[in-house]
Structure 1
Amino acid sequence: MGNFFQELRRRNVIRVVGAYLVVGWVLIQIATALEESMQLPSWFDGVVVALLIVGFPIAVIVSWVFDITPEGVVRTGAETSDAKYKSGRKLDYVIIAGVVIVAAVLVGQWLATPDATIDQATRAAATHTPAAATIAVLPFADLSPDGDQVYFSDGISEEILNLLAGVPELNVTSRTSAFQFKGRELGIPEIAASLKVRHVVEGSVRKAGNTLRITAQLIDAEDDRHLWSDTFDRPLTTENIFAIQDEIAKAVVGALADKLGFNASGGIAARPSTNNLTAYEQFLKARSYYQTRTQLDVMEELLKSIVEQDPNFSQAWELRAANQFLLVNYGYLNTPLQEQVRLTNEYAGKALALEPNSSIALAALANVQIQGGTALDGSRDFVELLANLTRAIEIDPHNDSALNWRGTLYLTLGDVDRALEDFGACVEVSPLTAPCAENYISVLAGAGRDQEAFEHFQNLLDYGIVKASESDLPMLARMGQETAFKAIGNSENLFFGWNQIDDLYKALRDPEGDHSQLRRSLRLFEDAKPGRDPFAAGVVFGYLGEISDDYTSYICWNRSYKNLRRSDEFRSYIRRSGIFGYWQQQGFPPQCRAVGADDFECD
C-alpha cells in the first residue's frame, strides 16, 4: 500500500487531484455568478457541476499515464527525473494560487455579508412597507340576532369604501381584494401586509327590528393601534343609514388628514340613492349577487321589484342593464340576442337619464354590442364603443367590468397589446375577479408568454379564483402539461366520455396541422351528448380550425393559429364583423396590413 501511494505522488496524481478540486470550485463559483448576472437558465450551474464530476476520473487517469515536461506531454516513465520534479512544482504553484483565490473569495463574502444582509433587509422593508395613505375597508361583521344580514353588513362596508375611494389623497384597496378576508381568523397586521396597506377600517353591523347599530374603527396596522372608533345607534331608516355612512367616512378621512397632513375639508357626501328602505335592502342583496356572479335570476327578480317600488333608483336600473348579458352568459336564461340588446338599451337608458355619469350603464351598453358580433348585422361602431367604455373607466377607474369589457373589445379588434394592458389593469384593480384573471391568463398565453401565464394561473388556483377551462388547453399543451390537460379535457362540461382526448392533446401541440378528421369526431360526440357547455365546445372547435362568428374573436389572435388568420373564412369574418372597416379608419394591428386599396393580410 505504501508503494502505491508513493507511486501516486511520483506520478503527480495527488497534486492533480488537489488542483482539480480547487479549480473546479472556482469554476462553480463563476458559473453561479454568471447564471445570476446574465439570467442564464437555472440548470446552467448544475451542468457545470455534472461536467466537473464526469471529468474527475478522466483527470486522474490522464495524470497517472501522462506527464507534462518541458518537451511536452509524454507518457510517465519508470524513474524520477529533474523534469518530473519541476512538473510537480508547477502543480504546487497552481494549487497554492487556487487556494489563495478561494481564500480571497471567502473573505470577501464574509466581509460583504453584513452590509449585504442589511441592504437586503432594507430593500425588503422598502418593498413591504406600504405607503401611509393606503387603506382597506374590510367587510363589517354581521352581529344581527339571526346572522342573516351578511349582505346588509357587506353593503354598508362597500358604501363606506366607495366614499373613501372618492378622496384623491387616499389609495383605497378594491372591494374584491379586501373582501377575500371575510370570515378568516387573521390579525389586522397580517391582513394589512397581504393587502399592502398601512391602515384598515373594520367594524360590525347589528340590525334588529327597527334599530340599527354600526360600530367602526380605523387601525394603523404598523403598530395595531386604533386611530379612531365610534358606535352609532339609530332607528332603522334609509336617512340614518346614509348619514352613518357619511359620518364614518368623514371621521376616517379626518383622522388620516390630521396624521398625514392633507386637507379634509372637501367632498365626502353620501348621496341617498332611495328613501325606500325595503328597496335599499333589496338592492344591497342584488348587488352582492352581481359581484359574485351567483343567483343572477334571483338578482333580476329583486331588481324588478326595486324599480317597481322606486322607479328613480338609478343604481338598480344600471345593475339590471348589466345583468341582461350575464343572465345568458352564465346560463340562467336563453334570451335571444336581439332581446338582450333591447332590454339592455332600455334599462341603461333609464339609468343614464337619472344619472348621466353611470359608469356601469355606459359599460353595459357597450358590452352588449361587443358580444353581439355579426348577429347584429356587423354595423357596430367600434370607435363609439371604445369611447363609451373609456368614458366609463374615466368616471370610475375601479370599474373592473368596464376594464374587462374594453380589453375584450381590443382583443376582438386584434389589438393584443392594449387588451393585455386592460386585463392587467383589471387584475391590478380587482385581483380576485375571475373574468379579469381568466382573460389575462388566456391572452398572456396567446401572446407567447406561456410561463408567465402558467405561473399566474397556479397562483390564482391557490385562492380558488379561477377554474380550469377550455381556454387553458392550448397553453397546457404547448407546455407539455399532459396530465393537467387531460384532467380538464375529461371534465363533465367538456369531453368526458370522448375517447380521443389524447388526439386533442397532440393536435393542440401541432396547431398548424390538418385536424378536420378530429373535428368530425368531436362533432359527432357533441351531437350525441347534448346539454354540455356550447361555448366551451365552440372555442375548442376554433382551436381545431373551425371558423365561427360566435367564438373566433376569442382565439384568432393567438400566436399559434397563423393558418386560421390566413384562411378565407377568417377574412370573411373580419369583413362581415366591421373590423376591416375599423382598421381602414383607425389603423391596422401589428400582425395585419393593408393589401391594395380594399384588401388585407395577417400573419
Structure 2
Amino acid sequence: MVTDVVGYSRLMAADEDKTLAALNTHRQIVFDPSVTRNNGRIVKLMGDGALVEFLSVVDAVRCARDIQIGMTAKEGEAGIVLRIGINLGDVILQNDDIFGDGVNIASRLEQLSKPGGICVSSVVQENVGGRLNIAFQDGGAVSVKNIDRPLKVFHWHPEDTPRASEFFVERADPAPRDAEHAIAVLPLDNMSGDPEQEYFSDGISEDIITDLSKVSGLTVIARNSSFAYKGKSVDLRIIGRDLRVTHVLEGSVRRVGNRVRINAQLIDATTGSHIWADRFDRELTDIFAVQDEVTLEIVNALKIKLSPAERANINDTGTSNIDAHEDYMRMRGFLFFPGMNAEGWKQAVLYGERAISKDPNYADPYGMLALMHLLDYHNHWSGRTSQEAMQEADKLAAHAVEIDPDGLWSNHAYAVVARWQGKLELASKTLEKAMSKSADYSLGWFTKGELELALGRLPEAIDAIERAIRLEPSFRHQYLQFLAMAHFLKGNFETAALLLRERVLLVKDTDIGRAWLASALGHLGEIEQARTVWTEMMEINPTFAIRTRLARLTLADPSHEMMMLQGLSKAGLLEDA
C-alpha cells in the first residue's frame, strides 16, 4: 500500500507548522492505529507518503478503507487528504525495505487514485472478492510510466453510493482475524548435555505451543515456523518482524535424572524488553503441571482472561503416564520432520505403539498413529497395499475418538482419514470438533481449507488457507497450491496465476503446480507462457496424468474439474476437454 498527501507542497507553502502538526496528528490518530490493527508494517515514511506491507490483500484494503473513512470526519480541520494505491505482487526484500514491480505498480496506482479514495489493481479487486463490503468501480485499462503493460484498475471512494453490480460485495468479512497479542514460542534450548534429550526440550516447547493455541485471545505461530530459528542467534525483534508477532517466548530445559529445570522468558518483540521471566525446578513427574504453569503465567503476563473451558483444555494432558508421553513426543517429532522417509516412518510407528502399550487409554498416540498410517497410504513405506494402510488408519482414528470423543488430535485424525475416504461432509463436521479445542490450530485451518475446496465452498476455503499461512508461514510454499486452486475455481485466474508462479519459484520440482499454472494462463489467453510451463512440467514428470491427479482431489462439483481441463484446452494442451 502506497499513500500520499494531496497538495502537500501547497499546504506546506501556506503554513508549514500547521501542516506538519496536522500530518503528525493524522498518523497518530488514524494512520498508525489502522496499520497496526490490520497486521501491517510501515516499511518507510517518505515525507508526505508511506509504503506499507500486509499479511494479506484483505488486510491492506480494510486498512485503506478505515484510513479514508477515518479521514473524512477530520478533513476540514486538518486539511490532510490522502490518495492510496494497493497492489499484490512480487517484491524484493533488502534489510527492512522492499522493492520491485509489486511496489512500483502500487506507486502508480496511488497516483491514479481520486483524492480521499483508493485505487487498486485488478488482482487486488479479484482477490478481495466477497470478503469486504466495498463496491469497486471499474476504471478500465490504463498505461502508466515504466510499466510495460496496461493496468486494469478499480476505484473506491467513501462518497460512492454502494450499489449492486458485479463488483459489489455483500458478504460480511468472515475471515479469522489476529487477536490483540501474537506470540512465537522458540524451541527451548536443551541444556542437559545429552543430545538424546533434544526430543524432550522440543516436546515441551510444542506442548506449550499447543496449550497457548487453545487461548482465543492469542494468535500463536505454529511449531514449524518458530522452530525454523532453532540453533540460530537471531535478534528477537527480527523474529517478531518476520513472524508478525508482538511477543516471543524463549528459554531452556535441563533434565538431570528425575529432575527438570525450565527457564522461560517472555519478550516484547517490538522493543526487545522482558515482560516476564521465571525458573521452574520440579520432579519429572510434575512436568505436566509445569507446562500448564508456564502457559498460565504467559496468559497472565499478557492480561488475557481465560474462559473456564479454555482453562480446562489447557489442563487436559490426556495421560498421567510420563513414559507414554515421552514416546508420544518422540513420535510427534517425526511427523513434523520435513525429510520423513520409510526409516523415519518405521521409528515413529514404533514409538507410537510403545506409547499405547504404556497407556492404552491415551488417545493422542492413536490419532497420531492414524496419521502415520495415512502417510503410508500415500507413500507405501510399509510394503502394504493402500487399502490395508487405509484400513489401519481408519481403525486407529476410530479408536482415538472412542477414547476421547472431544479431543483435538483424535478428531483431526478421524477427519483427515474420512477426507481421503471421500466422506467430505463427515470429515468437515469432525474437524469442527477438533478446532473447537484450539483457536489457532494451523494444521486444522489447512485441513479445513482443503475440505472446503473439495466441497466447492471456495470463499471459506480461501479464508481458512490464508489463516493457515498466517499461523505457519514456513509452510507457505505447500499451502500456496491449495490457495491458488481455490482462487482458480472461483474464476480468479489472475490471482491464481500469481500465486502459482510463486509456488513454482519456491518448489522447483512441482508438477501439479505447473499444471494448474498452465491452465490459469490458458484462461488468461497467455498461450505461449502456458505451453512453456507445460513443457517444464512434462520434463519433471513425463508420466503426469492430469485426470488421475484431479480424481484424487475428490472435487464435489464436476464443473470444477472441467474448468481446470478447459484452461489446458484453451492453451492447446488437451484435445478432448
Question: What range describes the TM-score normalised by the shorter chain of this pair?
Answer: 0.5 to 0.7
Aligned residue number for residue 238 of structure 2: 190
How many angstroms does 1:160 deviate by?
Answer: 1.5
2:318 counterpart letter in structure 1: S
Cα distance change, pair 137–125 in 1 and its aligned pair in 2 (3 A): same
1:364 aligns with 2:413: yes
Cα distance change, pair 292–106 in 1 and its aligned pair in 2 (3 A): same
Cα distance change, pair 193–358 in 1 and its aligned pair in 2 (3 A): same
Contact 2:481–2:503 (CA under 8 A) maintained in structure 1: no
CA distance in 2, matches of 1:158, 1:466: 30
**More helix, by proportion:** 1
1:423 aligns with 2:483: no
Q: Deviations over 1:260-286 (max 9, x none)?
A: 7x5799826544433444332221121
Aligned residue number for residue 400 of structure 2: 351
Alignment of 1:203-602 (within 5 A): 203-235=251-283, 237=284, 239-257=285-303, 262=305, 267=311, 269-292=314-337, 294=340, 295-333=344-382, 335-373=384-422, 380=423, 382-433=424-475, 435-457=478-500, 468-476=510-518, 478=521, 480=529, 486-491=535-540, 494-495=541-542, 526=543, 537-538=544-545, 540-541=546-547, 549-550=551-552, 553=555, 557=560, 559-562=563-566
**More strand, by proportion:** 2
| TM-score normalised by the chain length of structure 2 | 0.60
CA distance in 2, matches of 1:172, 1:323: 25
Q: Matched residue pairs, number? A: 406
Alignment of 1:50-89 (within 5 A): none
How many angstroms does 1:549 deviate by?
Answer: 4.4
Unpaired stretches in structure 2, ≥5 consecutive residues: 40-178, 570-576
2:483 counterpart letter in structure 1: Y
CA distance in 2, matches of 1:562, 1:142: 54
Unpaired stretches in structure 1, ≥5 consecutive residues: 1-34, 38-103, 374-379, 496-525, 527-536, 566-602
How many angstroms does 1:36 deviate by?
Answer: 9.7
Q: Which has the larger radius of gyration?
A: 1
Contact 1:360–1:399 (CA under 8 A) maintained in structure 2: no
Cα distance change, pair 36–556 in 1 and its aligned pair in 2 (3 A): farther
How many angstroms does 1:552 deviate by?
Answer: 6.5
Cα distance change, pair 227–417 in 1 and its aligned pair in 2 (3 A): closer
Aligned residue number for residue 26 of structure 1: none
Contact 1:542–1:552 (CA under 8 A) maintained in structure 2: no
How many angstroms does 1:316 deviate by?
Answer: 0.5
CA distance in 2, matches of 1:134, 1:417: 25
1:221 counterpart letter in structure 2: A
How many angstroms does 1:458 deviate by?
Answer: 5.8
Name whichever of 111-120 and 353-362 sits farther off: 111-120
Cα distance change, pair 431–334 in 1 and its aligned pair in 2 (3 A): farther
How many angstroms does 1:202 deviate by?
Answer: 0.9
Aligned residue number for residue 18 of structure 1: none
Aligned residue number for residue 131 of structure 2: none
1:140 aligns with 2:188: yes
Alignment of 1:75-154 (within 5 A): 107=10, 114=20, 119=26, 123=31, 126-128=34-36, 133-154=181-202
1:284 counterpart letter in structure 2: M
CA distance in 1, matches of 2:365, 2:299: 28
Quick one: higher RCO (CA 8 Å, sep 6+), 1 or 2? 2
Q: Deviations over 1:195-241 (max 9, x none)?
A: 22222211112234444222101122233221221222334x2x221
CA distance in 2, matches of 1:564, 1:220: 50
Aligned residue number for residue 73 of structure 2: none
CA distance in 2, matches of 1:339, 1:138: 39
Q: What's the Cα RMSD here? A: 3.9
Aligned residue number for residue 249 of structure 2: 201
Name whichever of 481-490 and 165-174 sits farther off: 481-490
Aligned residue number for residue 86 of structure 1: none
Q: Deviations over 1:299-328 (max 9, x none)?
A: 122212221222122110111122221222
SS of 2:254's partner is strand
How many angstroms does 1:391 deviate by?
Answer: 2.6
SS of 1:144's partner is coil
SS of 1:557's partner is helix
Cα distance change, pair 556–195 in 1 and its aligned pair in 2 (3 A): same
2:326 counterpart letter in structure 1: E
Cα distance change, pair 408–211 in 1 and its aligned pair in 2 (3 A): same
Q: Deviations over 1:41-92 (max 9, x none)?
A: xxxxxxxxxxxxxxxxxxxxxxxxxxxxxxxxxxxxxxxxxxxxxxxxxxxx
| Identity within the alignment, % | 24
How many angstroms does 1:151 deviate by?
Answer: 2.6
Cα distance change, pair 467–120 in 1 and its aligned pair in 2 (3 A): farther
Cα distance change, pair 458–267 in 1 and its aligned pair in 2 (3 A): same
CA distance in 2, matches of 1:162, 1:425: 17
1:438 counterpart letter in structure 2: Q
Cα distance change, pair 442–184 in 1 and its aligned pair in 2 (3 A): farther
CA distance in 2, matches of 1:156, 1:394: 23
Contact 1:253–1:264 (CA under 8 A) maintained in structure 2: no
How many angstroms does 1:562 deviate by?
Answer: 4.5
Q: Deviations over 1:75-123 (max 9, x none)?
A: xxxxxxxxxxxxxxxxxxxxxxxxxxxxx99645877985668856873
How many angstroms does 1:153 deviate by?
Answer: 1.6
